[in-house]
A and B are shown apart, each in its own frame.
Chain A
């Protein structure tokens, strides 16, 4: 079956540092890949997505590239802010995400210190 593995947290960085959160997946076929973010006290929000190999999803300064050869979808941001402190989930869907349930990683708690 499908699975998603992402780096364990918490990850603690200083403001303006470079961020990478690793995500690798196992799936048959060609899944769609997603990053969701859960800010403290809030619900789960779609951050970005990519639906085919070599696609780059981007939003709010975050980027992730769908790498089929390494089955990875690492999340990056060049300069993090305190407001980026949240839990980040990598997820995949066999289809486009609107028609199938998602398989989630365990989540990475990111803490940004001023």
Chain B
């Protein structure tokens, strides 16, 4: 398995501002992923982040809105930029280990 932490665990933000979410894993991993879980909905993959390369974004998600950094094999950040109320969601990071994928506890974001 993997021990994954995220900061902050929750936040309330004003529209037009940006929030950076941190994801830390207890040991080195190649693949890290970012997901969004909108209220009452399932998880949707935002992007895949490999260390040393640009993140790969899924359809409907763009780098200007969700810039991602992956400076080393245990850490990644996701920024939600120029937020609107529609960005209110839970944001989760996950890591791939072997054939499995493990999730962090999530960051609950409310945009007013």
Q: Are B31 and A46 in contact (CB under 8 A)?
A: no
Instruction: Specify which chain B residues have a CB less than 8 angstroms from the CB of A99 in the assembled complex.
Output: 31, 96
Q: Give the contacting residue for A98; candidates B31, B103, B105; CB below 8 A.
A: B31
Among the stretches A66-74, A78-86, A102-110, the one at the interface with B is A102-110
Q: Are B100 and A46 in contact (CB under 8 A)?
A: yes
Interface of A is mostly: loop
Q: Are A89 and B101 in contact (CB under 8 A)?
A: no
| A interface size (C-beta, 8 A) | 24
What 1/0 mask marks residues of chain A from 17 to 45 whose CB sits below 8 Å from any chain B CB?
00000000000000010101000001111
Give bound CA distance, A31 to B100, whole Å.
13
Contact of A77 with B by CB under 8 A: no
Give bound CA distance, A103 to B105, whole Å.
19
Instruction: Specify which chain A residues have a CB less than 8 angstroms from the CB of B48 in the assembled complex.
Output: 100-101
Chain B positions within 8 Å of A, measured between CB atoms, are 31, 33, 35, 41-45, 48, 58, 92, 94, 96-106
A–B complex contacts, Cβ < 8 Å, 26 sampled? A36-B103, A42-B105, A43-B105, A43-B106, A44-B103, A46-B101, A46-B102, A49-B99, A49-B100, A89-B42, A96-B98, A96-B99, A98-B31, A98-B96, A98-B97, A98-B101, A99-B96, A101-B35, A101-B58, A102-B33, A102-B45, A102-B101, A103-B45, A104-B42, A106-B41, A106-B42
